[in-house]
Amino acid sequence: MTRTHKLIILRHGESQWNHENKFCGWIDIPLSTQGEQEALRAGELIKAAGDLDPDIIYTSKLTRSIETGNIILHHLNKVWIDHTKTWRLNERHYGQYQGRDKHEVFLELNQDKEKFQFIRRNYHGKPPLIPALDADPSIDERYNDILNKSILPRGESLEMVMKRLIPYFIQEILNHQLIQLNKTVLVVTHGSIVRSLIKFLNHVSDEDISKINVPTGVPLVFELNDKGELVKNYYYLDKALAEKGMEKVRNEGLKRKNDNRL
């Protein structure tokens, strides 16, 4: 019998630094008020779909991801399901740009849009690295169980993100939870992780992944067969809301906050 396995993935609701137009990366920033509302809306969309009932949730180790997941589960009355938190689902590490205003970085790059977008969106583009882990304020006690700290990033391209994400995703989520145990899995994570999973599952080229932007707080669904192959195109549960959010993400950093001029 052919089975269809459903994977629900979303970027967390808007964080306070998303609101302030800053690079978040691994710095632990909570949801904004709007982000909390987006998380609730995500829960409403999942519930309204009718055939999406998560059996297990995965989040990153970052508060904005965990808070979004908790709000969704409260709305679904499923706070009791198993919850795995892993640094493998953390946002892309933005190196020395973490905490920086995106538009200020754009100005530092002489308003070179191509160079700025290469760092933000290109598969190989990466920010300046933090010189050493002990100089990184985002590495704290939540990572104490990682004995070999050298595997933690000091800054990443999307290519580097995928190298630490995809093996974990294949073994733990795709092969084990989705296919072997036939569970509906909810993954609440970050923009670069969602882009990485879209690239992997939909076989997006290195060049074309730079064109994909991910909105905050809008669930997207992947339907997969027993081989882990898509049986239909992935889809957002609210296409119009997703497209509006994508446009906002596409232009981040090219203008000052509250300035509509590019």
Residues with catalytic annotation? 12, 91
- Rounded-to-integer distance, Cα 18 and Cα 45, Å: 22
Decide if 109 contacts 44 (C-beta within 8 A): no
Q: Where are the beta strands (DSSP E) in 103-231?
A: 185-189, 220-224
Handedness of CA 161, 244, 57, 19 (dihedral sign): positive
> Which of 209, 191, 198 is CA-nearest to residue 92?
191
| Chain centre distance of CA 150 | 23
> Which of 261, 253, 250 is CA-nearest to residue 20?
253
List Cα–Cα distances, 77 to 37, 98, 239, in angstroms: 17, 35, 25
Can you spell out the DSSP letters for 198-238? HHHHHT--TTGGGG----BT--EEEEE-TTS-BSS--EESS
Decide if 235 contacts 17 (C-beta within 8 A): no
Task: Dig out the tokens for 98 from the structure.
Answer: 């973490």
